[in-house]
Chain A
């Protein structure tokens, strides 16, 4: 009988739960439908707005319609996107026109208002736009959020700092070194905004004062510096650094800007005990190797590390191409058919494919 009473209690609980959940389901269904209807209306309005304002920002229309309160965020994001695309173009006039329109539409004031928001997305939008407009109201928040926010907020804040105050380059580079969560390609785009001489000096200073891990991280972005500065920094590390991982990173950084005279500097690293150093050295030798390097490249084509073999084969083929010769196979032992195959593959990979 005890269980019968318990069962009755259980049934009562299930009744209550079913009815309550039924009500929740009904309300949720109504909410989802209402949300979808609202989103549809917003999407229709947004599509029109984007069409209209894209033409205005691009100078295809002269009128400047009044902007309703709820439309300002959409136009702010549109300006941010268009202005971001213009960053990579060289058209100063187009950039200035877009900025002028944004100011006349009071986008700057709206963005400045968002700086007090506690929402990361609002802060990102505000900092990004104010940075592009060169609005100094963002200087303080940009410095504050540079190292304190989440991944996207801190990176946007750093980018705004770079745009607003050229003397912040050193601080931003220190952040780049420490914030490994920033997406590298985005950091590269950001650093390209900095003035080159300032960036060259700041990068040189930061690399000199950073620990090994930081140096490796920063060496990835040496490509944003001018070629002479990048060459000088990388050569310095190749000569003086003792940590093999830093040396490998420095050789990789040097590979993009290496000159034929670098072959003597790099040659000893072909015999390094660390495969990643040999691999890095081969990247440069592919561009600068001379006929005297052929024997060592031949021996590396039979290396224990498969990637070293592959890169050595490519360096041999590149050497053949440069010297207009075809003797690479001779440097590779008869006993290692796979090394010869690697050369055949490298030749097929590197030389233009005939389109049949």
Chain B
């Protein structure tokens, strides 16, 4: 210390320093723990599936899957996305696109491209939703249905899809993503191998410059050209290979991504369907499933398929990215409140996942802000010297690079998601620290927006799926299933 403090200030400063450092160790211990679990599991998984590849056999014994795609103002991407879904190799699947009150030409594009005709579908309302105007079926692809409904948000659109879906497994996807032909073969495997499986998440890759422009094109697995999408490509590797691949083997997976998740339909219905009063729906649904199964003392498994099956477009401007992350953090905050009973409530989810989500994700912006303020004050009053601050900063940067490198290593040892040169990814891992500061600002803004219940203005071109004109949180309520039978248009 450059200036001598006296009791009790020396004790207070010391306690704060120890607390901040312990927090820093706690957070990075989680990252390293999951990365190392993945490092032990992933190469074996890849090796086994290299010698025993999963391929479509066209067997009637494959579990039938309904693919549900909510779409709001997606006229630009929807045809390409549906074409990629129609190209999926799987014996029994149907595609249910839910046009969630689009104000652009989404329905017209679908009608034109897939020769939609009104279809007199009868479905059971297992989860209440906003009104459905009509259901259409493709004359050229009989397994493609389009549900046209009043705008109600992504959760509501998914619920409408769940109601109309006929099969016991529901694949939830995004309208602006592109899917690998083997998506369902790979993702349904955990359901076959373990009857306790209730949901499977798939890995998502950044496809800004990989998704084909034409509907019948193929994926060119290239890294995005812009730096911002590149940072996100690295971030996705960290999130999916370095983190979820580590959480899944211990049944501690906290999120099944909304863009690529396969669920047992009965679990979604039993849980009351997707919530419509939160900004997003995927994290909440996953935590609700954990919560429900634990409360009922039913054994279950939530698995992860590490294949990069979903290629998605990520924000390419700071503004879009800021809004996306702000909304993600708000959703995290909502979920932490809704499912607070899970925290330290037993099991891996209670003792590891929830503490991680609560302290290393939800409260991280507050902790970092406090740490920064403390550093500024400490420097101003000369409690600690510049060298000590720089040293700690150096340790943070080095650990950030280490975790990024571990994720790149995992990717190299498994699927080599991006076939282009490795240098952009490596340089992104060095500069990633600064990108993360930007994300910290967005998260902090999301935290404050949640605290002060600021209305959320969804905007096309920002996070996909947010389509409610102005979202203002209401007191949380649980949608209760009210089963009834309905006919489209009746």
Contact = CB atoms under 8 A, between A and B. Distances in A.
Contact of B391 (A18, A185, A344): A18
B50 interface: yes
Contact of A338 (B142, B388, B406, B487): B487
A222 B399 CA distance: 56
Contact of A6 (B14, B122, B412): B14
B200 interface: no
Contacts of B122: 310, 338, 341-342, 345
Interface in B367-405: 384, 387-388, 391-392, 394-395, 398-399, 401-402, 405
Nearest to B13: A3
Interface stretch (A118-126, A282-290, A324-332): A118-126
Contacts of B422: 32-33, 36
Interface in A32-81: 32-33, 35-36, 39, 77, 80-81
Contacts of A189: 57, 59
Contacts of A187: 61
Nearest to A7: B1
Interface stretch (A95-103, A176-184, A195-203): A176-184
Interface string B11-38: 1011001000100000000000000000
Interface stretch (A136-144, A236-244, A264-272, A347-355): A347-355
B43 to A, nearest CB: 10
Contact of B120 (A6, A348, A356): A348
B17 A4 contact: no
B52 A39 contact: no
Contact of A353 (B44, B59, B142): B142
Contacts of A28: 402, 405-406, 409
B180 interface: no
Contacts of A183: 54, 189, 192-193
A271 B272 CA distance: 31
A81 B52 CA distance: 9
Contacts of A1: 4, 10
B117 interface: yes
Given A28-B409, A345-B122, A151 B51 contact: no
Contact of B51 (A11, A24, A25, A128): A128
A82 interface: no
B194 interface: yes
A161 interface: no
A15 B391 contact: yes
B133 interface: no
Contacts of B388: 7, 11, 14
Contact of B17 (A10, A17, A119, A186): A10
How large, as a class, is the contact surface on chain A?
35 or more
Contacts of A22: 394, 398
Most buried by B among A1, A36, A150, A310: A36
Contacts of B193: 151, 181, 183
A36 to B, nearest CB: 5
A21 B402 contact: yes
Nearest to A124: B51
B417 to A, nearest CB: 12
A280 B399 CA distance: 58
Given A29-B426, A338-B485, A338-B487, A7 B401 contact: no
A18 B394 contact: yes
Interface in A120-159: 120-122, 124-125, 128, 150-152, 156
B137 A353 contact: yes
A18 B62 contact: no
A156 B44 CA distance: 17
A122 B60 CA distance: 30
Nearest to B43: A121
A351 B48 CA distance: 44
A188 B47 CA distance: 24
Interface string B287-327: 00000000000000000000000000000000000000000
B86 interface: no
A341 B487 contact: yes
A223 interface: yes
Nearest to B413: A35
Given A4-B4, A10-B17, A185 B412 contact: no
Nearest to A342: B122
Contact of B412 (A4, A10, A35, A152): A35
Interface in A154-178: 156
A255 to B, nearest CB: 11
A55 to B, nearest CB: 21
Nearest to A354: B139
Contacts of B17: 7, 10
Contacts of B485: 306, 309, 338
B134 to A, nearest CB: 13
Contacts of A223: 60
Interface string B455-468: 00000000000000
B77 interface: no
Contacts of A29: 405, 426
B192 to A, nearest CB: 4
Contacts of A156: 52
Interface in A290-349: 306, 309-310, 337-338, 341-342, 344-345, 348-349
A205 interface: no
Contact of A355 (B120, B139, B189, B426): B139
A259 interface: no
Given A3-B5, A39-B416, 9 more contacts: A4-B10, A7-B17, A11-B391, A14-B391, A18-B391, A36-B422, A183-B192, A306-B485, A345-B122
Interface of B: 1, 4-5, 10-11, 13-14, 17, 21, 44, 47-48, 50-54, 57, 59-62, 91, 115, 117, 119-122, 124, 137, 139-140, 142, 189, 192-195, 384, 387-388, 391-392, 394-395, 398-399, 401-402, 405-406, 408-409, 412-413, 416, 422, 426, 485-487, 490
18 contacts: A4-B4, A11-B391, A14-B392, A17-B395, A18-B391, A18-B394, A32-B409, A80-B51, A128-B51, A128-B52, A151-B193, A181-B192, A181-B194, A184-B59, A185-B59, A185-B62, A344-B120, A345-B122
Interface of A: 1, 3-4, 6-7, 10-11, 14-15, 17-18, 21-22, 24-25, 28-29, 31-33, 35-36, 39, 77, 80-81, 119-122, 124-125, 128, 150-152, 156, 180-189, 220, 223, 306, 309-310, 337-338, 341-342, 344-345, 348-349, 353-356
